[in-house]
A and B are shown apart, each in its own frame.
Chain A
Amino acid sequence: MISIRRYLTRSLALVLAAATALTVTATYIITEHEMEEILDAQLSLQGRLIAAQIRADTSPAAYRAIAARLNQPGHLARRYTDGRAEPPDDPDDAVRYHHEERMLAMGFWNGDATPLLLGAGWNDHGPFPPPEAEGYRWVDYGGERWRVFSLLDARSETWIRAGIQKEFIDELGGKVMLGNLIPMLIALPLLLLATAWTVKRGLKPIGSLSRQVAGRNDRQLSFIDAAVPRELNGLQTSINDFIARLRETLERERRFTADAAHELRTPLAGLKIHLDNARAGESASLDKAYTGVARLQRVVEQLLVLARLDRGDAQQAKDIDIYPLVLELIAELWPWAQARDQTLEVTGLTALRVRADPVEMGILVRNLVDNALRYTPDGGRVTLELSSAEGEARLIVSDTGPGIPEAMLTRVTERFRRAADQRITGSGLGLSIVLELAQRQRARLILTNREPHGLEVSLAWPSMPGRKAS
């Protein structure tokens, strides 16, 4: 699992470092370019000024004076006559005003490109190469590269060149870059620290939210009420919704457990006390104990059915005709009804196709009929009717029992909810199983009382597009 904090910190650090490097590089390139332009302009201005001072009749003495002016200690300027350097005058008078001066130089050539006067530094490795054309160019001399501007003064037929060492330009650019780089390098770690701190601080609400959620158990289901930033609002709301649903589920589970305990322990207590009574000599108690066992057995069986349903095993819904299924069950329960003189009958359609799981439908119908027979007095009638109207398929089970008090109608499908007559050995689970199963078949379950008495349970499948009402 990735950590947002690490991800953000790392990415921001990389971006910062890259931005710094980019800035410094760009500064270097731009500075060097600009520097070159400024220096180029300087060179041409220098050339123009000198050209303006030169005349056709400028005497060798004047050139000698210039050479004397240009002398630097150890690097003397030379006047040339017929391609040969004249010995310098007063080399001891040479002065250096600035240590970078040797990076700049100038020289004069005759119209035929023979040297006339070459400034300090341009004689060190033989005469500096002569000009070929006006303008700027790079010239290699004595292992150094020079930027040189050449200008031909037409009146005096004299070439003038002014130059600057590339090393000097580079040094300038490098110094500017370094000037930028050092503060950047000092700032970068501070920026990285600030970034890490900001990210950590920014992500704090996530931590506090997760601390609120973590370490909770089923007894601490209060809503989370943290002051979260807007981005986490949705998450907090979702978690709270989830908690609400969890609470509801747990509450239902708790109620179910309490009810199940009641439904299991009450017949068990009855069974035990009847056995005690039987031992004390009560003759009728043994039979009553058997009734208790039968009830316990039924509760246990129904609980197991519910447990299976709750587990939600894969359902195999398909189009089935429920008529044969209903008939099969009726045949099975027939002897039971017969023993109590009850009429059990099937009316209506002799084929009804619905979409359902055949096994679950079997349990559903059995519970419905079982319930009806149980609550219908001896000699009563239980009817199953298959019908179809407006594309809605219906299975209706009606009985002539006592029905359910109106106030209870909506509640009887809750687990362990039994209608009025407690003498019937129902488990209180039959209708909740029916409801669960009906929902799984996507059928509606409708309970209504009949006149003068009796209950009608109706299962309705909504009309399906593409299926003809049969």
Chain B
Amino acid sequence: MRVLLVEDDPLLGDGIKTALQREGYAVDWLENGHDALAAVRYDTFSVMVLDLGLPDIDGMQVLKGVRRHSAMPVLILTARDDIEARIAGLDGGADDYVLKPFDLQELLARLRVVMRRAQGRASQIIEIGPLRIDEASHEVTWHSQVVPLARREYALLLELARHPEKVMTRPHLESLLYGWNEEVASNAVEVHIHHLRRKLDKRLIATVRGIGYRLTPDRE
């Protein structure tokens, strides 16, 4: 789960980044609209958190630019509480709207909702065979047994579970786990996959040689 955070305020940006990382998101933080537009052109993100009050381009313009290339969920952060601004934001292609100052739990919940909606799901529970993932509590159960997972293991499993049967490439999974500034060991994804197989079931995640991995719930 990779988040693109566009926030010009150093204090707020830092706080959101810390909180999202704690939740297991890989966070890329940009402080202006130009960089954000460039980033969405060349990279993929699970969700974008966009502050409307940016120093260079107005947030609404950034949103418009993003919508030209991508349908990724966008959550707007703003201090403007007038109805007109909200309507303009939602009509402009935003998926949700959070007013500053916001509650952290609410922000996280809304992030989950917009991502879920982007995948066409209504529930925050993913169930694939004996595997059950609760996105709100991050609780993973395997045959009704709670399995404690590390932050990145959880993120990896969630990404695979969101696209069951589909092959997820290694670079894509890597980019979801690590932000730009984070050091990535060359075998990081393998290590996390290994841990997941050990904690759940060896046959749950299949390796597609030379390409990546996929979830195989039916091959139990």
Contact = CB atoms under 8 A, between A and B. Distances in A.
Residue from B9, B15, B53, B99 whose CB has the most chain A CB atoms within 10 Å? B15
A418 B55 CA distance: 8
Interface in A251-266: 258, 261-266
Nearest to A268: B101
Interface of B: 8-12, 14-16, 18-19, 22, 31, 51, 53, 55, 77, 79-82, 99-104
Contacts of A423: 10
A295 B100 CA distance: 16
A273 interface: yes
Nearest to B52: A262
Contacts of A420: 55
Given A267-B9, A268-B101, A422-B10, A262 B22 contact: no
B14 A266 contact: no
A401 interface: no
Given A267-B12, A270-B14, 15 more contacts: A261-B79, A262-B80, A264-B79, A266-B53, A266-B100, A267-B9, A268-B101, A269-B100, A269-B102, A270-B12, A273-B12, A273-B104, A274-B11, A422-B10, A422-B55
Given A265-B79, A266-B100, A269-B102, A276 B19 contact: yes
Residue from A270, A272, A276, A291 whose CB has the most chain B CB atoms within 10 Å? A270
Interface residues of A, number: 28
A285 B100 contact: no
A261 B80 contact: yes
Residue from B8, B11, B12, B51 whose CB has the most chain A CB atoms within 10 Å? B11
Contacts of B82: 258
A285 B104 CA distance: 14
Interface in A235-284: 258, 261-274, 276-277, 280, 282
A371 B82 CA distance: 32
A266 B12 contact: yes
Residue from B10, B22, B31 whose CB has the most chain A CB atoms within 10 Å? B10
Contact of A292 (B11, B51, B53, B79): B11
Given A261-B79, A269-B102, A282 B22 contact: yes
B18 A270 contact: no
B9 A266 contact: yes
Given A262-B79, A273-B15, A268 B100 contact: yes
A282 B101 contact: no
Nearest to A419: B55
Contacts of B53: 262, 266
A272 B104 contact: yes
A20 to B, nearest CB: 65
A288 interface: yes
- Name the 6 nearest CB pairs between A and B, nearest first: A273-B15, A270-B12, A270-B11, A269-B101, A262-B79, A265-B100
